[in-house]
Amino acid sequence: MLSCRQNEDNNIFSAAICGNTDSILYCIKNGVDVNTTSPTSDTPIILAARHGQMGTIKTLIMAGAFVDQQNDNGDTALMLAARHGHEACARVLTSTGSDLDIKSTDIHENTALIEAVMMGHKGIVRALIHAGADLDAQNSQGNTALLVAVKNHRNQCLKYLVNAGASLDIPDRLGKTALTCAVENAQKYATRQLMDAKKRAAL
């Protein structure tokens, strides 16, 4: 068990990374702020989400952790869970009031949904759609989740987004829609899905 007697702040970060809830509770009992930040502004819950520690996330939330705290890159716990494919963590965070649509403050300005689509984490994409994430939020390049799905060849994610009603006609900063990108890159599946969706929308 990690000791928190000598350097409690550092130890709560270590405990969050390795999922040692006993040490986290010990640190909190001994006066460590559950929202204390590392030199890069990571909080314990951000570290727990990055490393897939679902039980630790639950413990930190119960202790009063701010779920939407952002680090120096503007990442929240939910964004990191989405990026790294930790579906159970993402589901806990979406069910406990995390802001689904907050954007990172780095040059990309991605949402959690865009992060999940980019990495092809299908279960997290479905969870975020079900939780009510904004399907049409755009990042700094004007990409929506649907555009990201096409550009990264994430066909199953594309299917989920189309079926959920994502806008088909929002262009990126270069003026290209999802269908334009699919056609230009000879993506047969994506082109067919998008054309069928447009036909259904026209009925």
1-104 carries CATH number 3.30.870.10:
no
What's the whole-number mean pLDDT along residues 111-125?
98
Domain map of the chain by residue range?
Answer: 1-104
* pLDDT per residue as tens digits for the range 65-85: 999 999 999 999 999 999 999
Q: Which backbone phi and psi does 37 adopt, to 5 degrees?
A: -120, 145
- pLDDT for the residue 60: 98
Q: Which H helix or E strand runs over 129?
A: helix 122-131
Q: Which residues contact 92 (CB under 8 A, 6 or more apart)?
A: 54, 57, 58, 61
What is the Cα–Cα distance from 37 to 89, expressed in whole angstroms? 20
- pLDDT for the residue 202: 86
Instruction: Give yes or no for residue 8 having a pLDDT over 80.
Output: no
What is the Cα–Cα distance from 12 to 32, expressed in whole angstroms? 8
Q: How many CB atoms lie within 10 A of CB 66?
A: 15
The pLDDT-based confidence of 9 (bands split at 50, 70, 90) is low
In 3D space, the residue among 72, 81, 26 whose CA is nearest the CA of residue 51 turns out to be 81
* pLDDT per residue as tens digits for the range 158-184: 999 999 999 999 999 999 999 999 999
